Amino acid sequence: MAGRAIAAFKKKRHGEPEKTATESSVTSPAPLSLEERIRARAYALYLQRAGQDGSPVDDWLRAEAEILAG
């Protein structure tokens, strides 16, 4: 932490502007693929039923249908 403060101080001292949050190297995450979206929804369905009375295939098919339907 102290190293960052020193670097910031040196930049200010030499007239170099500090980067703002939008100028930093922070990037938005890449959009999820269709398979990743289905996987995440199927897992959410599994959690909703607390792992009871269902199967992973049923969760996957329901998730796939929901996502493809929009």
Mean pLDDT of 7-29: 59
CB 28 within 8 A of CB 46: no
Residue with tokens 């995450």: 29
Q: What is the pLDDT of residue 54?
A: 86
Q: How confident is the model at residue 12 (pLDDT cuts 50, 70, 90)?
A: low
- Residue ranges per domain, the chain? 31-70
Residue 46 confidence (pLDDT): 94
Section 14-23 average pLDDT: 55
What global pTM score does this model have? 0.56
Over residues 20-55, the pLDDT tens digits come to 555 556 788 888 899 999 999 999 999 998 878 889
